[in-house]
Amino acid sequence: MVKKRKLSVSQGLIYLVLSAWALSTIYPFFWVIVNSFKEKRYIRSDTFALPLGEMFTLDNYRTAFERVDILGAYRNSLIISITVTAVVVLLAGFAAYAMARYRFRGRRALQGLIIASMMFPVFSTIIPVFRMLYLWGLVRFESVFYSLLCVSLPQIAGNLSFAIVVLTGYIRSIPVEMEEAAYLEGYNVFQIFFRIVWPLGRPSFATVAIFTFLWSYNDLFTQMFFLRNKRTYSITRLLAEISSQAGVNYGLMVAAVVLVVVPVLLVYILLQKNIIKGMTVGALKG
């Protein structure tokens, strides 16, 4: 009896500590959402109050949509991230399939190159990439199409190595008998890839896709280099701009933060199992 009592006290303590950290990760987001519905002046005087009665307003969002092109920025972000994700998943899938199934000379060397490239910080490649794209005539800040393209290309390259590592591991774990059966049916390797490997590997392809998408959506560094014109801003780039220019309009700031965070929040809640798995598998990428 005594022992049981002691156990539940320690359990209670454990839950207390764990909940305290949980509070630290939930509360800031709750707080920013609550404050986005308050009139500006209350944010800095009654920050902990709920936006009820006369405090409640939608003005912050109205200002956000009027002052800056939020919808355009969402569109640009989606174009970049979807392009990057689609290309990465396809090319990495191909490469991973080859790395997992074929034996060929130089395979080990390629493996080494893939691992090595996960160590390159984007800082060390971005300047030559910029210069190269500039020489090719692709750096045109006033053009939405070219600016988005310039962001997408290095982002694709930056995500490939991680994606290949994750997918190679997964494809290797698929029993090869399925592919052999398909081969006897007369499938060629490309049909095998699209009709056998792809469907079987769907969970890991999904993991890679979600991860690539989020990484691309959130990556400020590359976007700072290529998105200079307001019309080309992605949502993350726009947010960085607002932070340096909003001055004392804290209402606008909170609303902007919420507008950036909410889509990610929704994606996360829906797909969190895949995301957490992918992030830890891709841990090496850092």
Partner 1 sequence: MNNSTIYKRKAPLAVFLIPAFAFMAVFLYYPFVRNIVNSVSKISGLGTASEGINTPWYKNFVQLFTDEKLRTAFGNTMLLMLFTIVFQVGIALVLALLVDNIRRGAGFFRTVYFFPIVISATALGLLFNLIFLYNGGMLNQLLLDLGWVKEAIDWKSEKYYMFTMLLPVMWQYVGFYFVILVTGLNNISPELYEAAAIDGASGLQRVTRITLPLLHNTLCICLTLAITGALKVFDLPWVMMGQGMPMDRSWLLGTYMYQQTFNVGDVDYGSAIAIVLVVLGVAISQLANAIFKEKEY
* Residues 227-256, interacting with partner 1 (CB under 8 A): 236, 239-240, 242-244, 250, 253-254, 256
b or e along 206-237 (b: 16 or more beta carbons within 10 Å of the residue's beta carbon)? bbbbbbbbbbbbebeebbebbbeeeebbbbbb
Smallest gap from Cβ 51 to partner 1, in A, equals 15
Count the neighbouring beta carbons within 10 Å of the beta carbon of residue 254.
Answer: 23
**Least distance from C-beta 263 to partner 1, angstroms?**
11
Residues in contact with partner 1, shown as a per-residue x/- string from 68 to 107 under the rule CB under 8 A: -----------------------xx-xx-xx--xxxx---
Site for partner 1 in 11-70 (CB under 8 A): 11, 14-15, 17-18, 21-22, 24-26, 28-29, 31-32, 35, 43-45, 47-48
- How many chain residues bind partner 1 (CB under 8 A)? 97
Cα–Cα distance measured from residue 160 to residue 163, given in angstroms and rounded to the nearest whole number: 5
Interactions with partner 1, residue window 128-147 (CB under 8 A): 128-132, 134, 139
Answer yes or no whether residue 110 interacts with partner 1 by CB under 8 A. Answer: yes
Q: Which of 50, 115, 127, 270 touches partner 1 by CB under 8 A?
A: 127
Q: What is the DSSP letter of 176?
A: T
CB of 1 to partner 1, least distance (A): 19
- Look at phi and psi of residue 61 and say left if phi exceeds 0, alpha if psi is from -120 to 50, else beta: alpha
Closer by beta carbon to partner 1, 27 or else 145: 27
> Using the rule CB under 8 A, is 112 a contact of partner 1?
no
User: Among residues 191, 229, 245, 272, which is the contact residue for partner 1, using CB under 8 A?
Assistant: 272
CA 21: distance to chain centroid? 24
Q: Calculate the alpha carbon distances from 266 to 244, 262, 272 in Å.
A: 27, 6, 10
Q: Are 65 and 36 in contact (CB under 8 A)?
A: no
* 8 near partner 1 (CB under 8 A): no
Concatenated DSSP letters for 24-93?
HHHHHHHHHHHHHTB-HHHHTT-TTS---GGGB-SHHHHHHHHHS-HHHHHHHHHHHHHHHHHHHHHHHH
Residue 161 in tokens = 């190595």
Q: Which stretch binds partner 1 (CB under 8 A): 52-60, 62-70, 201-209, 260-268?
A: 260-268
Footprint (CB under 8 A) of partner 1, residues 149-208:
153-154, 156-158, 160-161, 164, 176, 179-180, 183, 188-190, 192
The least CB distance from residue 54 to partner 1, in Å, is 18
Burial of residue 78, with CB atoms counted within 10 A of its CB: 0-12 exposed, 13-18 middle, 19 or more buried: middle
Q: How far is the CB of 284 from partner 1 (least distance, A)?
A: 8
Rounded to the nearest whole angstrom, what is the least distance from the CB of residue 33 to partner 1 in the complex?
Answer: 11
